[in-house]
Amino acid sequence: MKAIVLQELNQPFQLKEVAIPEISQNEVLVKIKSAALNHRDVWIQKGQYGGIRFPVILGSDGSGIVEKVFDTENEKWIGKEVLINPSMNWGNNPRVQSKEYVILGTPVDGTFAEYVKVEARLLHNKPEHLNFEQAAALPLAGLTAWRATMTRAAVKNGENVLITGIGGGVALLCMQFAIAAGCHVYVTSGSDEKIECAVKMGVKAGVNYKKANWDKELKNLSAGFDAIVDSSGGETFSKLVDIAKPSCRIAMYGATLGEFNSGIPAKIFWKQLDILGSTMGNDDEFVNMINFVNTHKIIPVVDSVYSFNQAQSALEKMSKGEQFGKIILAVDL
């Protein structure tokens, strides 16, 4: 089969011919239709991730059709259109992943291939309102967004919610979930075009963070936020703390701008803030996320679709942060 293989650190992806995986107990073989890129794939390529082994087939997100099962009890899956939960071995504590937790696509081979083997329990029916490309855009970003927005920040109908850095796959799904939950949603971005797109999708307003006083402008527009979902950290964070209402929940699912700046600790206690770390999510959250997507007919945004032999170009596009939505790899292109 064709597969996108990472042979060693800091090398480009290689499209290679490899053996179709053999399945054993509890496993199924899924014929991949679409996969999606994640920043995780870049970090793995650069060695900024634990538990890397080589060679490896990357890819955490995949949609496709179940081709083969090992156990008779799983025969019901054959021919079904599915997406795959990339979250493996979360463990028994819903609050935090176990030490055995891994994500599909390192160390285990992932979805950037014509076939992937996974445990049957990771299969979910593809939402009927999504095509394979849209379905492949959902798993990792949707689970991360769900936990950050719905479990951790726990946004509620009628609340003012800020999602920072709109355009990335996770931020967009945070935004879509919060809108569907009945929140008044505001966004930031470094691109006016992305803000315009977000407004068309239902946000109240957005402000370009390259402007001076973007924080004050957002506070004037919104009168402050009940909840914020952020992945920037860095210099942005003290401004978020300023435009947070008292008792605001700030969920953090990343810190791309690095260390916090000044002015934060005293506001955390005076304003009775919750700063809530979040990464990926447990199996119940995945089920709840898929159900919510079905109920609200949420469609993950696909920025662009690449063929397998353009995978390295696709990855470089994502690294530049110019996309609005997920970048998809399609097997049949």
Closest distance to a copy of itself from the beta carbon of 298 (Å)? 24
Closest distance to a copy of itself from the beta carbon of 65 (Å)? 35
Closest distance to a copy of itself from the beta carbon of 275 (Å)? 4
By CB under 8 A, is residue 282 in contact with a copy of itself? Answer: no
By CB under 8 A, is residue 96 in contact with a copy of itself? Answer: yes
| Only segment of 37-45, 70-78, 158-166, 274-282 that touches a copy of itself (CB under 8 A) | 274-282
x/- mask, a copy of itself, residues 204-243, rule CB under 8 A, reads -----------------------------xx--x------
By CB under 8 A, is residue 279 in contact with a copy of itself? Answer: yes
Q: Which of 110, 127, 165, 254 binds a copy of itself (CB under 8 A)?
A: 254
By CB under 8 A, is residue 264 in contact with a copy of itself? Answer: yes
Query: In the beta sheet, which residues pair with residue 69?
Result: 28
Closest distance to a copy of itself from the beta carbon of 135 (Å)? 26
Closest distance to a copy of itself from the beta carbon of 147 (Å)? 9
| Only segment of 16-24, 116-124, 172-180, 252-260 that touches a copy of itself (CB under 8 A) | 252-260
By CB under 8 A, is residue 270 in contact with a copy of itself? Answer: yes
By CB under 8 A, is residue 252 in contact with a copy of itself? Answer: yes
By CB under 8 A, is residue 186 in contact with a copy of itself? Answer: no
Binding site for a copy of itself (CB under 8 A): 93, 95-97, 233-234, 237, 246-247, 252-255, 258-260, 262-279
